[in-house]
A and B are shown apart, each in its own frame.
Chain A
Protein backbone atom coordinates (compact mmCIF):
# COMPACT_ATOMS: atom_id res chain seq x y z
CA UNK A 1 0.00 0.00 0.00
CA UNK A 2 1.54 3.30 -1.11
CA UNK A 3 1.85 6.10 1.44
CA UNK A 4 0.38 8.55 -1.11
CA UNK A 5 -2.80 7.80 -3.00
CA UNK A 6 -2.10 7.22 -6.73
CA UNK A 7 -4.32 10.13 -7.89
CA UNK A 8 -2.62 12.55 -5.48
CA UNK A 9 0.74 11.29 -6.60
CA UNK A 10 -0.11 11.93 -10.25
CA UNK A 11 -1.26 15.46 -9.51
CA UNK A 12 1.92 16.18 -7.52
CA UNK A 13 4.06 14.66 -10.22
CA UNK A 14 2.72 17.00 -12.90
CA UNK A 15 3.37 19.95 -10.66
CA UNK A 16 6.91 18.77 -9.94
CA UNK A 17 7.65 18.37 -13.63
CA UNK A 18 6.37 21.87 -14.28
CA UNK A 19 8.53 23.28 -11.50
CA UNK A 20 11.55 21.51 -12.93
CA UNK A 21 10.99 23.03 -16.36
CA UNK A 22 10.52 26.52 -14.89
CA UNK A 23 13.79 26.24 -12.98
CA UNK A 24 15.60 25.13 -16.11
CA UNK A 25 14.28 28.12 -18.07
CA UNK A 26 15.34 30.54 -15.31
CA UNK A 27 18.89 29.19 -15.36
CA UNK A 28 19.00 29.40 -19.14
CA UNK A 29 17.80 33.01 -19.00
CA UNK A 30 20.55 33.87 -16.53
CA UNK A 31 23.28 32.65 -18.86
CA UNK A 32 21.68 34.33 -21.87
CA UNK A 33 21.53 37.68 -20.07
CA UNK A 34 25.14 37.36 -18.92
CA UNK A 35 26.52 36.37 -22.29
CA UNK A 36 24.10 38.65 -24.13
CA UNK A 37 25.45 41.75 -22.40
CA UNK A 38 28.97 40.76 -23.34
CA UNK A 39 27.91 40.13 -26.92
CA UNK A 40 26.18 43.52 -27.16
CA UNK A 41 29.30 45.20 -25.81
CA UNK A 42 31.57 43.39 -28.24
CA UNK A 43 29.35 44.06 -31.25
CA UNK A 44 28.91 47.74 -30.34
CA UNK A 45 32.64 48.24 -29.82
CA UNK A 46 33.49 46.22 -32.89
CA UNK A 47 31.16 48.19 -35.17
CA UNK A 48 32.38 51.46 -33.85
CA UNK A 49 36.10 50.82 -33.69
CA UNK A 50 37.06 47.97 -35.99
CA UNK A 51 37.59 50.22 -39.02
CA UNK A 52 39.91 52.33 -36.90
CA UNK A 53 42.21 49.43 -35.93
CA UNK A 54 45.15 49.35 -38.31
CA UNK A 55 48.90 49.55 -38.22
CA UNK A 56 48.83 53.33 -38.28
CA UNK A 57 46.68 53.39 -35.16
CA UNK A 58 49.04 51.06 -33.33
CA UNK A 59 52.25 52.75 -34.43
CA UNK A 60 51.25 56.40 -33.99
CA UNK A 61 51.54 58.66 -30.98
CA UNK A 62 48.46 60.42 -29.62
CA UNK A 63 47.42 63.50 -31.49
CA UNK A 64 45.01 66.40 -31.31
CA UNK A 65 43.54 65.15 -34.57
CA UNK A 66 41.40 62.02 -34.05
CA UNK A 67 42.36 60.57 -37.43
CA UNK A 68 46.06 60.70 -36.64
CA UNK A 69 45.80 59.63 -33.01
CA UNK A 70 47.41 56.32 -32.14
CA UNK A 71 48.21 54.19 -29.13
CA UNK A 72 51.93 53.52 -29.59
CA UNK A 73 53.04 55.08 -26.30
CA UNK A 74 50.06 53.77 -24.34
CA UNK A 75 50.50 50.23 -25.65
CA UNK A 76 54.22 50.22 -24.89
CA UNK A 77 53.52 51.71 -21.47
CA UNK A 78 51.01 48.96 -20.70
CA UNK A 79 53.39 46.23 -21.85
CA UNK A 80 56.28 47.57 -19.76
CA UNK A 81 54.05 48.09 -16.72
CA UNK A 82 52.73 44.55 -16.88
CA UNK A 83 56.19 43.04 -17.35
CA UNK A 84 57.52 44.93 -14.32
CA UNK A 85 54.46 44.03 -12.26
CA UNK A 86 54.63 40.39 -13.35
CA UNK A 87 58.31 39.94 -12.52
CA UNK A 88 58.12 41.66 -9.14
CA UNK A 89 54.95 39.94 -8.00
CA UNK A 90 56.16 36.55 -9.30
CA UNK A 91 59.26 36.64 -7.11
CA UNK A 92 57.48 38.03 -4.05
CA UNK A 93 54.34 35.95 -4.53
CA UNK A 94 56.07 32.61 -4.95
CA UNK A 95 58.37 33.40 -2.02
CA UNK A 96 55.43 34.22 0.21
CA UNK A 97 53.50 31.16 -0.93
CA UNK A 98 56.48 28.86 -0.28
CA UNK A 99 56.88 30.36 3.17
CA UNK A 100 53.23 29.90 4.05
CA UNK A 101 52.92 26.39 2.63
CA UNK A 102 56.29 24.84 3.37
CA UNK A 103 57.82 26.66 6.32
CA UNK A 104 55.18 28.37 8.41
CA UNK A 105 53.24 25.33 9.58
CA UNK A 106 50.32 26.36 11.69
CA UNK A 107 51.79 29.14 13.75
CA UNK A 108 49.92 32.27 14.72
CA UNK A 109 51.80 34.55 12.36
CA UNK A 110 51.01 32.31 9.39
CA UNK A 111 47.31 32.23 10.25
CA UNK A 112 47.13 36.01 10.53
CA UNK A 113 49.08 36.43 7.30
CA UNK A 114 46.75 34.03 5.52
CA UNK A 115 43.60 35.86 6.55
CA UNK A 116 45.10 39.20 5.58
CA UNK A 117 46.16 37.99 2.15
CA UNK A 118 42.59 36.95 1.46
CA UNK A 119 41.45 40.40 2.61
CA UNK A 120 44.06 42.18 0.52
CA UNK A 121 42.74 40.47 -2.60
CA UNK A 122 39.48 42.33 -2.02
CA UNK A 123 40.89 45.81 -1.40
CA UNK A 124 39.71 48.30 -4.08
CA UNK A 125 42.43 49.04 -6.60
CA UNK A 126 42.30 52.78 -5.99
CA UNK A 127 43.57 52.16 -2.46
CA UNK A 128 46.63 50.51 -3.96
CA UNK A 129 47.02 53.60 -6.12
CA UNK A 130 47.13 55.83 -3.04
CA UNK A 131 49.59 53.44 -1.39
CA UNK A 132 51.79 53.45 -4.50
CA UNK A 133 51.69 57.23 -4.69
CA UNK A 134 52.82 57.55 -1.09
CA UNK A 135 55.47 54.82 -1.08
CA UNK A 136 56.92 54.62 -4.57
CA UNK A 137 56.29 58.05 -6.05
CA UNK A 138 56.97 60.14 -2.96
CA UNK A 139 58.93 58.21 -0.29
CA UNK A 140 61.14 56.27 -2.70
CA UNK A 141 61.40 59.22 -5.09
CA UNK A 142 60.68 57.10 -8.14
CA UNK A 143 58.49 59.87 -9.51
CA UNK A 144 55.48 59.26 -11.69
CA UNK A 145 57.48 56.63 -13.53
CA UNK A 146 56.96 53.25 -15.15
CA UNK A 147 58.75 51.68 -12.19
CA UNK A 148 56.36 53.27 -9.68
CA UNK A 149 53.39 52.18 -11.79
CA UNK A 150 54.72 48.66 -12.21
CA UNK A 151 55.40 48.30 -8.48
CA UNK A 152 51.92 49.55 -7.66
CA UNK A 153 50.32 47.04 -10.00
CA UNK A 154 52.61 44.37 -8.53
CA UNK A 155 51.18 45.09 -5.07
CA UNK A 156 47.70 44.94 -6.50
CA UNK A 157 48.09 41.47 -8.00
CA UNK A 158 50.38 40.08 -5.30
CA UNK A 159 47.57 38.60 -3.17
CA UNK A 160 46.11 36.81 -6.20
CA UNK A 161 49.49 35.37 -7.12
CA UNK A 162 50.17 34.25 -3.56
CA UNK A 163 46.84 32.46 -3.37
CA UNK A 164 47.25 30.83 -6.81
CA UNK A 165 50.80 29.73 -5.96
CA UNK A 166 49.70 28.34 -2.61
CA UNK A 167 47.06 26.27 -4.34
CA UNK A 168 49.59 24.99 -6.88
CA UNK A 169 52.06 24.10 -4.12
CA UNK A 170 49.37 22.41 -2.06
CA UNK A 171 48.43 20.29 -5.08
CA UNK A 172 51.86 18.63 -5.06
CA UNK A 173 51.23 15.31 -3.30
CA UNK A 174 52.91 14.86 0.12
CA UNK A 175 54.33 11.55 -1.11
CA UNK A 176 56.66 13.48 -3.43
CA UNK A 177 58.05 15.47 -0.48
CA UNK A 178 58.41 12.29 1.58
CA UNK A 179 60.28 10.65 -1.29
CA UNK A 180 62.70 13.56 -1.35
CA UNK A 181 63.26 13.65 2.41
CA UNK A 182 63.75 9.87 2.47
CA UNK A 183 66.68 10.25 0.06
CA UNK A 184 68.41 12.72 2.35
CA UNK A 185 67.20 15.89 0.63
CA UNK A 186 67.11 18.94 2.84
CA UNK A 187 63.93 20.96 3.06
CA UNK A 188 65.22 23.57 0.64
CA UNK A 189 66.31 20.89 -1.86
CA UNK A 190 62.93 19.21 -1.63
CA UNK A 191 61.16 22.50 -2.28
CA UNK A 192 63.48 23.63 -5.05
CA UNK A 193 63.94 20.36 -6.96
CA UNK A 194 60.64 18.59 -6.36
CA UNK A 195 57.82 20.86 -5.18
CA UNK A 196 58.36 23.99 -7.25
CA UNK A 197 58.93 22.26 -10.62
CA UNK A 198 55.69 20.40 -10.17
CA UNK A 199 53.80 23.49 -9.02
CA UNK A 200 55.29 25.64 -11.75
CA UNK A 201 52.55 25.35 -14.35
CA UNK A 202 49.90 26.29 -11.80
CA UNK A 203 51.98 29.21 -10.56
CA UNK A 204 52.62 30.44 -14.08
CA UNK A 205 48.94 30.31 -14.93
CA UNK A 206 48.16 32.37 -11.85
CA UNK A 207 50.82 34.92 -12.74
CA UNK A 208 49.63 35.36 -16.33
CA UNK A 209 45.98 35.62 -15.34
CA UNK A 210 46.75 38.26 -12.74
CA UNK A 211 48.93 40.11 -15.25
CA UNK A 212 45.92 40.25 -17.51
CA UNK A 213 44.01 41.76 -14.63
CA UNK A 214 46.78 44.33 -14.11
CA UNK A 215 46.76 45.38 -17.75
CA UNK A 216 43.15 46.53 -17.48
CA UNK A 217 43.62 48.54 -14.29
CA UNK A 218 43.04 52.28 -14.60
CA UNK A 219 42.31 53.80 -11.22
CA UNK A 220 45.64 53.17 -9.44
CA UNK A 221 47.56 54.50 -12.44
CA UNK A 222 45.52 57.70 -12.52
CA UNK A 223 46.23 58.20 -8.83
CA UNK A 224 49.98 57.83 -9.20
CA UNK A 225 49.94 60.25 -12.10
CA UNK A 226 50.05 58.44 -15.40
CA UNK A 227 49.92 60.85 -18.32
CA UNK A 228 47.14 61.00 -20.87
CA UNK A 229 49.20 62.52 -23.65
CA UNK A 230 52.59 60.93 -24.21
CA UNK A 231 54.15 61.73 -27.59
CA UNK A 232 57.30 59.66 -26.91
CA UNK A 233 58.24 56.04 -26.22
CA UNK A 234 59.35 55.31 -22.66
CA UNK A 235 63.16 55.41 -22.62
CA UNK A 236 63.77 53.63 -19.35
CA UNK A 237 62.22 52.47 -16.10
CA UNK A 238 62.10 56.00 -14.74
CA UNK A 239 60.37 57.40 -17.81
CA UNK A 240 56.91 58.89 -17.49
CA UNK A 241 54.25 56.86 -19.16
CA UNK A 242 50.69 56.31 -20.25
CA UNK A 243 48.75 53.06 -20.44
CA UNK A 244 46.02 51.70 -22.66
CA UNK A 245 43.11 52.03 -20.21
CA UNK A 246 44.18 55.58 -19.41
CA UNK A 247 44.33 56.50 -23.08
CA UNK A 248 40.90 54.95 -23.66
CA UNK A 249 39.47 56.74 -20.63
CA UNK A 250 40.85 60.01 -21.93
CA UNK A 251 39.44 59.56 -25.42
CA UNK A 252 35.97 58.57 -24.24
CA UNK A 253 35.73 61.89 -22.41
CA UNK A 254 36.32 63.87 -25.61
CA UNK A 255 33.32 65.22 -27.52
CA UNK A 256 34.59 64.52 -31.06
CA UNK A 257 33.19 61.41 -32.77
CA UNK A 258 36.66 60.57 -34.08
CA UNK A 259 37.99 60.13 -30.55
CA UNK A 260 35.03 57.93 -29.66
CA UNK A 261 36.06 55.67 -32.53
CA UNK A 262 39.66 55.76 -31.39
CA UNK A 263 38.52 54.76 -27.89
CA UNK A 264 36.57 51.81 -29.31
CA UNK A 265 39.60 50.79 -31.35
CA UNK A 266 41.77 51.03 -28.21
CA UNK A 267 39.32 48.79 -26.37
CA UNK A 268 39.57 46.23 -29.18
CA UNK A 269 43.36 46.21 -28.93
CA UNK A 270 43.15 45.87 -25.15
CA UNK A 271 40.67 42.99 -25.43
CA UNK A 272 42.85 41.19 -27.98
CA UNK A 273 45.81 41.60 -25.64
CA UNK A 274 43.80 40.25 -22.70
CA UNK A 275 42.42 37.30 -24.61
CA UNK A 276 45.82 36.31 -25.95
CA UNK A 277 47.31 36.42 -22.44
CA UNK A 278 44.53 34.21 -21.13
CA UNK A 279 44.95 31.85 -24.08
CA UNK A 280 48.69 31.71 -23.36
CA UNK A 281 47.94 30.75 -19.76
CA UNK A 282 45.65 27.92 -20.88
CA UNK A 283 48.17 26.77 -23.47
CA UNK A 284 51.13 26.79 -21.07
CA UNK A 285 49.16 24.93 -18.48
CA UNK A 286 48.18 22.08 -20.79
CA UNK A 287 51.67 21.89 -22.33
CA UNK A 288 53.49 21.75 -19.00
CA UNK A 289 51.05 19.28 -17.55
CA UNK A 290 51.50 16.80 -20.39
CA UNK A 291 55.26 16.94 -19.98
CA UNK A 292 55.30 16.15 -16.27
Chain B
Protein backbone atom coordinates (compact mmCIF):
# COMPACT_ATOMS: atom_id res chain seq x y z
CA UNK B 1 0.00 0.00 0.00
CA UNK B 2 1.31 3.42 -0.94
CA UNK B 3 1.83 5.91 1.86
CA UNK B 4 -0.76 8.33 0.54
CA UNK B 5 -3.47 5.84 -0.33
CA UNK B 6 -6.59 6.62 1.68
CA UNK B 7 -9.20 4.25 0.28
CA UNK B 8 -8.58 0.92 -1.27
CA UNK B 9 -10.62 -1.93 -2.66
CA UNK B 10 -9.10 -5.37 -3.03
CA UNK B 11 -10.81 -7.82 -5.32
CA UNK B 12 -14.16 -6.30 -4.39
CA UNK B 13 -17.34 -7.92 -5.66
CA UNK B 14 -20.76 -6.63 -4.65
CA UNK B 15 -24.01 -8.55 -4.82
CA UNK B 16 -27.67 -7.66 -4.47
CA UNK B 17 -29.12 -11.05 -3.69
CA UNK B 18 -27.55 -13.33 -6.29
CA UNK B 19 -27.04 -10.48 -8.71
CA UNK B 20 -23.40 -9.40 -8.98
CA UNK B 21 -23.19 -5.68 -9.76
CA UNK B 22 -19.51 -5.01 -9.10
CA UNK B 23 -16.95 -7.58 -10.15
CA UNK B 24 -13.49 -8.02 -8.66
CA UNK B 25 -12.50 -4.37 -8.51
CA UNK B 26 -9.07 -3.48 -7.15
CA UNK B 27 -8.54 0.25 -6.85
CA UNK B 28 -6.46 2.79 -4.87
CA UNK B 29 -7.83 6.22 -4.02
CA UNK B 30 -5.13 8.75 -3.16
CA UNK B 31 -5.26 11.32 -0.39
CA UNK B 32 -6.13 14.92 -1.36
CA UNK B 33 -6.82 13.95 -4.92
CA UNK B 34 -10.02 13.83 -6.94
CA UNK B 35 -10.81 10.39 -8.27
CA UNK B 36 -13.55 10.04 -10.84
CA UNK B 37 -15.51 6.87 -11.54
CA UNK B 38 -16.96 6.88 -15.04
CA UNK B 39 -18.79 4.37 -17.19
CA UNK B 40 -22.14 3.68 -18.87
CA UNK B 41 -25.38 3.37 -16.87
CA UNK B 42 -25.85 0.25 -14.81
CA UNK B 43 -22.19 -0.65 -14.42
CA UNK B 44 -22.05 -0.38 -10.64
CA UNK B 45 -20.46 3.07 -10.29
CA UNK B 46 -22.79 4.24 -7.52
CA UNK B 47 -22.72 0.85 -5.84
CA UNK B 48 -18.93 0.96 -5.74
CA UNK B 49 -19.01 4.48 -4.31
CA UNK B 50 -21.53 3.47 -1.65
CA UNK B 51 -19.22 0.71 -0.45
CA UNK B 52 -16.85 3.39 0.85
CA UNK B 53 -19.28 4.71 3.49
CA UNK B 54 -21.32 1.53 3.90
CA UNK B 55 -24.42 3.20 2.51
CA UNK B 56 -25.23 -0.09 0.79
CA UNK B 57 -25.91 -1.56 4.23
CA UNK B 58 -29.35 0.02 3.99
CA UNK B 59 -30.26 -2.41 1.21
CA UNK B 60 -31.33 -5.70 2.82
CA UNK B 61 -30.02 -8.07 0.13
CA UNK B 62 -26.60 -6.43 -0.15
CA UNK B 63 -23.43 -8.41 0.49
CA UNK B 64 -19.86 -8.32 -0.76
CA UNK B 65 -16.66 -10.28 -1.06
CA UNK B 66 -13.15 -8.88 -1.08
CA UNK B 67 -11.98 -5.95 1.00
CA UNK B 68 -12.60 -2.22 1.33
CA UNK B 69 -9.88 -0.44 3.30
CA UNK B 70 -9.95 3.07 4.76
CA UNK B 71 -6.51 4.17 5.92
CA UNK B 72 -5.57 0.52 5.96
CA UNK B 73 -8.54 -0.50 8.13
CA UNK B 74 -11.12 -2.98 6.81
CA UNK B 75 -14.43 -1.11 6.65
CA UNK B 76 -16.41 -4.34 6.70
CA UNK B 77 -14.67 -5.98 9.64
CA UNK B 78 -17.24 -7.28 12.15
CA UNK B 79 -16.64 -4.69 14.90
CA UNK B 80 -16.78 -1.64 12.61
CA UNK B 81 -19.76 0.64 13.20
CA UNK B 82 -21.08 2.15 9.95
CA UNK B 83 -22.13 5.29 11.84
CA UNK B 84 -18.51 5.95 12.72
CA UNK B 85 -17.43 5.40 9.11
CA UNK B 86 -20.03 7.81 7.79
CA UNK B 87 -18.84 10.43 10.26
CA UNK B 88 -15.40 10.32 8.62
CA UNK B 89 -16.47 9.70 5.04
CA UNK B 90 -19.11 12.18 3.92
CA UNK B 91 -21.42 11.85 0.97
CA UNK B 92 -23.17 14.19 -1.45
CA UNK B 93 -26.03 12.71 -3.42
CA UNK B 94 -27.26 12.84 -6.97
CA UNK B 95 -30.25 15.02 -6.19
CA UNK B 96 -29.83 17.75 -3.60
CA UNK B 97 -31.53 16.45 -0.45
CA UNK B 98 -31.63 19.30 2.05
CA UNK B 99 -33.68 18.56 5.16
CA UNK B 100 -36.94 20.51 5.43
CA UNK B 101 -35.37 22.72 8.08
CA UNK B 102 -33.66 26.10 8.09
CA UNK B 103 -30.36 26.63 6.29
CA UNK B 104 -28.62 26.93 9.65
CA UNK B 105 -30.17 23.74 11.01
CA UNK B 106 -29.20 21.83 7.88
CA UNK B 107 -25.53 22.63 8.36
CA UNK B 108 -25.72 22.24 12.14
CA UNK B 109 -27.44 18.84 11.92
CA UNK B 110 -24.30 16.70 11.58
CA UNK B 111 -22.33 18.43 14.37
CA UNK B 112 -25.36 18.37 16.66
CA UNK B 113 -26.17 14.68 16.34
CA UNK B 114 -22.52 13.78 16.71
CA UNK B 115 -22.26 15.78 19.92
CA UNK B 116 -20.29 18.89 18.88
CA UNK B 117 -19.57 21.15 21.87
CA UNK B 118 -17.87 24.13 20.23
CA UNK B 119 -19.36 27.29 18.79
CA UNK B 120 -22.03 26.10 16.38
CA UNK B 121 -22.57 29.49 14.71
CA UNK B 122 -18.87 29.74 13.82
CA UNK B 123 -18.80 26.21 12.48
CA UNK B 124 -21.89 26.83 10.33
CA UNK B 125 -20.41 30.03 8.94
CA UNK B 126 -17.07 28.38 8.20
CA UNK B 127 -18.75 25.42 6.48
CA UNK B 128 -20.97 27.65 4.35
CA UNK B 129 -17.96 29.75 3.40
CA UNK B 130 -15.99 26.69 2.38
CA UNK B 131 -18.93 25.60 0.24
CA UNK B 132 -18.99 29.08 -1.38
CA UNK B 133 -22.54 29.65 -0.22
CA UNK B 134 -22.10 32.01 2.74
CA UNK B 135 -22.49 35.30 0.86
CA UNK B 136 -25.72 34.17 -0.74
CA UNK B 137 -27.40 32.95 2.45
CA UNK B 138 -25.86 34.84 5.35
CA UNK B 139 -28.94 37.07 5.66
CA UNK B 140 -31.43 34.23 5.70
CA UNK B 141 -29.87 31.46 7.77
CA UNK B 142 -33.21 31.00 9.53
CA UNK B 143 -35.02 30.66 6.20
CA UNK B 144 -36.04 27.30 4.79
CA UNK B 145 -33.40 25.38 2.87
CA UNK B 146 -36.08 24.31 0.42
CA UNK B 147 -36.39 27.90 -0.84
CA UNK B 148 -32.85 27.75 -2.31
CA UNK B 149 -32.19 27.01 -5.98
CA UNK B 150 -31.02 23.53 -7.00
CA UNK B 151 -27.37 24.60 -7.25
CA UNK B 152 -27.54 26.36 -3.89
CA UNK B 153 -29.19 23.32 -2.33
CA UNK B 154 -26.37 21.10 -3.59
CA UNK B 155 -23.75 23.48 -2.16
CA UNK B 156 -25.72 23.47 1.09
CA UNK B 157 -25.47 19.67 1.09
CA UNK B 158 -21.74 20.00 0.58
CA UNK B 159 -21.55 22.54 3.44
CA UNK B 160 -23.55 20.12 5.58
CA UNK B 161 -21.01 17.40 4.84
CA UNK B 162 -18.05 19.72 5.50
CA UNK B 163 -19.49 20.67 8.89
CA UNK B 164 -18.57 17.26 10.32
CA UNK B 165 -15.00 17.62 8.99
CA UNK B 166 -14.80 14.36 7.10
CA UNK B 167 -11.58 13.00 5.65
CA UNK B 168 -13.14 11.84 2.41
CA UNK B 169 -16.08 13.26 0.45
CA UNK B 170 -17.98 10.90 -1.83
CA UNK B 171 -20.03 12.53 -4.57
CA UNK B 172 -22.63 10.54 -6.48
CA UNK B 173 -23.25 12.45 -9.71
CA UNK B 174 -23.52 15.72 -7.77
CA UNK B 175 -24.24 17.84 -10.85
CA UNK B 176 -26.64 15.62 -12.76
CA UNK B 177 -29.69 17.64 -11.74
CA UNK B 178 -28.04 21.06 -12.07
CA UNK B 179 -27.73 23.57 -14.89
CA UNK B 180 -24.31 24.32 -16.48
CA UNK B 181 -23.65 27.45 -14.36
CA UNK B 182 -24.38 25.64 -11.10
CA UNK B 183 -22.31 22.71 -12.36
CA UNK B 184 -19.37 25.01 -12.95
CA UNK B 185 -19.66 26.39 -9.41
CA UNK B 186 -19.62 22.89 -7.93
CA UNK B 187 -16.64 21.85 -10.06
CA UNK B 188 -14.68 24.91 -8.95
CA UNK B 189 -15.58 24.10 -5.39
CA UNK B 190 -14.35 20.53 -5.76
CA UNK B 191 -10.96 21.75 -6.95
CA UNK B 192 -10.64 24.00 -3.90
CA UNK B 193 -11.78 21.30 -1.52
CA UNK B 194 -9.30 18.77 -2.86
CA UNK B 195 -6.54 20.68 -1.09
CA UNK B 196 -7.90 19.43 2.22
CA UNK B 197 -10.11 16.50 1.36
CA UNK B 198 -9.94 13.36 -0.70
CA UNK B 199 -12.82 13.31 -3.16
CA UNK B 200 -14.34 10.41 -5.07
CA UNK B 201 -16.90 11.41 -7.66
CA UNK B 202 -19.18 9.29 -9.80
CA UNK B 203 -20.12 11.06 -12.98
CA UNK B 204 -21.88 10.41 -16.24
CA UNK B 205 -20.26 13.42 -17.72
CA UNK B 206 -16.87 12.58 -19.24
CA UNK B 207 -15.97 16.23 -19.77
CA UNK B 208 -16.54 16.77 -16.12
CA UNK B 209 -14.30 13.87 -15.16
CA UNK B 210 -11.61 15.21 -17.51
CA UNK B 211 -11.95 18.74 -16.13
CA UNK B 212 -11.86 18.08 -12.42
CA UNK B 213 -10.32 14.73 -11.62
CA UNK B 214 -6.71 13.71 -11.07
CA UNK B 215 -7.44 10.02 -11.47
CA UNK B 216 -10.14 8.19 -13.40
CA UNK B 217 -11.54 4.69 -13.09
CA UNK B 218 -13.56 3.32 -16.00
CA UNK B 219 -16.18 0.68 -15.20
CA UNK B 220 -17.99 -1.41 -17.77
CA UNK B 221 -20.41 -4.28 -18.14
CA UNK B 222 -19.30 -7.30 -20.11
CA UNK B 223 -21.43 -10.19 -21.34
CA UNK B 224 -21.75 -11.97 -17.98
CA UNK B 225 -19.75 -9.69 -15.73
CA UNK B 226 -21.14 -6.34 -14.57
CA UNK B 227 -19.08 -3.62 -12.92
CA UNK B 228 -15.66 -4.57 -14.23
CA UNK B 229 -12.81 -2.09 -13.78
CA UNK B 230 -11.44 -1.77 -17.28
CA UNK B 231 -8.84 0.88 -16.72
CA UNK B 232 -7.61 3.06 -13.90
CA UNK B 233 -4.97 5.77 -14.09
CA UNK B 234 -4.21 9.45 -14.23
CA UNK B 235 -7.06 11.29 -15.88
CA UNK B 236 -4.75 12.99 -18.34
CA UNK B 237 -3.56 9.64 -19.55
CA UNK B 238 -7.02 8.01 -19.58
CA UNK B 239 -8.52 10.81 -21.64
CA UNK B 240 -5.61 11.38 -24.04
CA UNK B 241 -3.91 8.04 -24.31
CA UNK B 242 -6.13 5.21 -23.02
CA UNK B 243 -4.41 1.83 -22.87
CA UNK B 244 -7.55 -0.26 -23.35
CA UNK B 245 -9.47 -0.03 -26.60
CA UNK B 246 -12.80 -0.25 -24.73
CA UNK B 247 -11.86 2.87 -22.76
CA UNK B 248 -10.98 4.62 -25.97
CA UNK B 249 -14.25 3.58 -27.56
CA UNK B 250 -16.17 4.93 -24.58
CA UNK B 251 -14.42 8.27 -24.18
CA UNK B 252 -14.59 9.00 -27.89
CA UNK B 253 -18.33 8.43 -27.73
CA UNK B 254 -18.56 5.25 -29.75
CA UNK B 255 -20.86 3.74 -27.11
CA UNK B 256 -22.28 4.57 -23.73
Contacts and interface: CB of A to CB of B under 8 A. Distances in A.
Given A175-B97, A176-B97, A198-B100, A183 B60 contact: no
A180 B87 CA distance: 11
Nearest to A177: B58
Contact of B55 (A182, A193, A194, A197): A182
A185 B83 contact: yes
B199 interface: no
B86 interface: yes
B113 interface: yes
Nearest to B146: A292
Interface string B51-71: 001010010100000000000
Interface in B134-169: 144, 146, 157, 160-161, 164
Contact of B161 (A173, A177, A182, A198): A182
B76 interface: no
Contacts of A292: 100, 144, 146
Interface string A156-200: 000000000000000001011111111111100100011001100
Contacts of B122: none
A177 B99 CA distance: 9
Interface residues of A, number: 21
A179 B164 CA distance: 13
Residue with the greatest number of chain B CB neighbours at <10 A, chosen from A178, A180, A183, A193:
A183
Given A181-B58, A183-B164, 12 more contacts: A175-B97, A179-B157, A179-B160, A181-B82, A183-B110, A183-B114, A184-B86, A184-B87, A184-B114, A185-B113, A193-B109, A292-B144
Closest 8 CB pairs of A and B: A184-B87, A183-B110, A175-B97, A182-B91, A292-B100, A179-B97, A184-B86, A189-B113
Interface of A: 105-106, 173, 175-186, 189, 193-194, 197-198, 292
Interface of B: 53, 55, 58, 60, 82-84, 86-87, 90-91, 93, 95, 97-100, 109-110, 113-114, 144, 146, 157, 160-161, 164
